[in-house]
């Protein structure tokens, strides 16, 4: 079977609902300390095989591991970077969402940052690639996450606390090593979840950053530069995607606001090939920022299909939304994907497994209806 190469018309952000076996095995291993890592890995492996089969069966040209080995979409990657240490604190909540809160786990920086040669997600990718007949894709948090998600008081290494631009520079170098390591592991389609470009479009979050002494527009440009510097030297046959949303935890959210403050930096300063953009509610604003997508090979996948509820969109409604989007960018430079993952954390969104399947099937059917292929 010939494996298609990205960009695709039909794609998805990455995470999938964890089944009961995975949740039970993780509880036995992490909470009860009643089993070994080998048993947990066996359960995860089987669940990933099932997740890959689901993606292949619905007709997607790409498969992820569903992030099934992770607790969080971002922290599991970050905690295995050199220089990071995660701590659990005696507080009741972690990250605040609209109506829900994550576990009280916090990232801290304790030394100079680096990407280790034995980072576990390299093996996660290798296992995924061994299980699928379509293009394997792994998603990792973008470099901005390693700044935005760390409180200023938790930057415990003085050179970084004294000089944020040194932190940004070292983050870019760390991610450059990560990109190379994934390429050497065989990865040709790497996605960076860099959601904080969208967060920095929210007026309340912009005000919070100003209160911290950081200009949000300067921060957007710095985040774009980190991404650019991390991926600029990638081989020509490696495709980089970037996902942006406004929070996704148990079907709740954090931020709101149109992409306008970040659109130019996102489209013209990052060097990214494919953009996954949340567009399932009015919180994302209008489609006008798409006019800044440069003509050429770049592709944007507006997330008109939500993963937060099981209500199924119609192809006719999606067609109308793409007609509107085509007023601002070339329809030939678009594709379709859900607005976010189905399970950005192990808890998952408030939808069923059948809902998830129908949503992925709709992605494929919409791509075929609008572009004639996936």
CATH number for the domain spanning 227: value is 3.20.20.210
Other Cβ atoms within 10 Å of 127 Cβ, number: 16
Q: Give the DSSP H or E segment for 121.
A: helix 120-131
Query: Is residue 262 within 8 Å of residue 200, measured between CB atoms?
Result: yes
DSSP bridge partners of 25: none
6 found inside a domain: no
Query: Among the listed ranges 6-15, 71-80, 130-139, 185-194, which one has the minimum average pLDDT value?
Result: 71-80
Per-residue model confidence as pLDDT tens digits over 258-316? 999 999 999 999 999 999 999 999 999 999 999 999 999 999 999 999 999 999 999 99
9 found inside a domain: no
134 found inside a domain: yes
3 found inside a domain: no
Q: How far apart are CA 85 and CA 63, in angstroms?
A: 31
pTM: 0.94
Q: What is the pLDDT of residue 4?
A: 93
Helix ranges restricted to H, the chain: 20-26, 37-57, 75-78, 120-131, 145-148, 158-162, 164-184, 196-199, 203-211, 216-231, 260-268, 315-325, 353-371
What integer best gives the mean pLDDT of the chain? 94
Query: Is residue 338 within 8 Å of residue 12, measured between CB atoms?
Result: yes
* Number of Cα atoms under 13 Å in the Cβ half of residue 275: 33
10 found inside a domain: no
Q: How far apart are CA 331 and CA 293, in angstroms?
A: 11
Which one, of 78, 76, 80, lies nearest residue 68 by Cα? Answer: 76
Q: How far apart are CA 178 and CA 242, in angstroms?
A: 15
Is 94 strand, coil or helix? coil
Domain that holds residue 257: 20-371
Other Cβ atoms within 10 Å of 36 Cβ, number: 10
Per-residue model confidence as pLDDT tens digits over 18-63? 999 999 999 999 889 999 999 999 999 999 999 999 999 999 999 9
pLDDT surpasses 90 at 252: no
User: What's the domain count of the chain?
Assistant: 1
Helix axes 203-211, 216-231, angle to 10 degrees: 90
Chain Cα centroid distance, residue 68: 14
Number of H helices, E strands in the chain: 13, 11
32 found inside a domain: yes
14 found inside a domain: no
Integer-rounded Cα radius of gyration of the chain: 19
Query: Is residue 293 within 8 Å of residue 333, measured between CB atoms?
Result: yes
157 found inside a domain: yes
Chain Cα centroid distance, residue 167: 22
CA triplet 310, 315, 319: central angle to 5 degrees? 125
Is 154 strand, coil or helix? helix
Q: How far apart are CA 102 and CA 108, in angstroms?
A: 17
């Amino acid at each position: 079977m010939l494996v298609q190469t990205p960009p695709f018309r039909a794609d998805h952000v990455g995470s999938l609902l964890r089944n009961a076996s995975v949740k039970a095995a993780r509880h036995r291993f992490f909470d009860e300390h009643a089993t070994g890592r080998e048993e947990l890995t066996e359960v995860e492996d089987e669940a990933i095989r099932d997740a890959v089969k689901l993606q292949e069966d619905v007709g997607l040209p790409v498969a992820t591991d569903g992030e099934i080995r992770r607790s969080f979409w971002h922290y599991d990657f970050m905690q295995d970077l050199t220089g990071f240490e995660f701590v659990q604190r005696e507080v009741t909540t972690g990250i605040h969402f609209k109506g829900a809160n994550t576990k009280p786990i916090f990232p801290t920086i304790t030394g100079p940052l680096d990407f280790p040669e034995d980072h576990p997600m390299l093996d996660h990718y290798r296992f995924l690639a061994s299980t699928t007949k379509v293009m394997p894709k792994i998603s990792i948090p973008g470099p901005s996450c390693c700044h935005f998600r760390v409180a200023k008081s938790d930057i415990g290494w003085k050179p970084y606390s004294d000089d944020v631009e040194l932190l940004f520079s070292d983050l870019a170098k760390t991610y450059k090593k990560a990109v190379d390591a994934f390429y050497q592991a065989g990865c040709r389609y790497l996605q960076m979840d860099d959601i904080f470009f969208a967060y920095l479009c929210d007026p309340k979050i912009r005000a919070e950053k100003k209160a911290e002494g950081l200009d949000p527009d300067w921060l957007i440009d710095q985040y774009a530069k980190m991404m650019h510097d991390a991926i600029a030297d990638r081989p020509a046959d490696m495709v980089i995607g970037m996902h942006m949303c406004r929070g996704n935890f148990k079907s709740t959210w954090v931020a709101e606001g149109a992409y306008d403050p970040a659109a130019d930096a996102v489209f013209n300063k990052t060097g990214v090939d494919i953009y996954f953009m949340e567009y399932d509610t009015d919180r994302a604003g209008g489609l006008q920022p798409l006019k800044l997508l440069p003509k050429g090979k770049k592709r944007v996948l507006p997330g008109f299909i939500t993963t937060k509820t099981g209500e199924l969109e119609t192809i006719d409604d999606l067609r109308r939304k793409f007609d509107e989007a085509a007023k601002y960018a070339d329809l030939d430079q678009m594709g379709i994907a859900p607005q976010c993952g189905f399970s950005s954390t192990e808890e998952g969104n408030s939808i069923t497994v059948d809902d998830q399947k129908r949503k992925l099937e709709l992605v494929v059917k919409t791509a075929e209806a609008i572009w004639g292929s996936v």
